[in-house]
Amino acid sequence: MHPACRVRQEGFGLLFYDSRGPRLLFAETGNLLPSDFYSVRRGRDEFPAGLTTGQQQALGKFINQLLEKGFLREQ
């Protein structure tokens, strides 16, 4: 997670916000991805255990969005 970004669990899933500007990202992930999952360094294709292939593909697309929008950063 970028140091300027935070994530909060909501009823619909996750809310990402960026303190560098008024950027919000609403993610309808339900309970598939816990809010603290990316608080530690992980690979782009690391997902919580027990997800189906379809869920992994959907989360993979979502992770790419987070990278493109600057909420996550690669190291």
Instruction: Name the percent of the chain lying above pLDDT 70.
Output: 96
Secondary structure letter of residue 3 according to DSSP:
T
pLDDT at residue number 20:
85
Please give the average per-residue pLDDT across 51-57, as a whole number.
Answer: 89
pLDDT at 54 over 80: yes
In this predicted structure, what is the pLDDT of residue 75?
59
Measured CA to CA in angstroms, residue 70 lies from 20, 25, 63 at distances of 10, 11, 11
Q: Is the CB of residue 43 less than 8 Å from the CB of residue 28?
A: no
pLDDT above 70 (res 8): yes
| Averaged pLDDT of the chain | 83
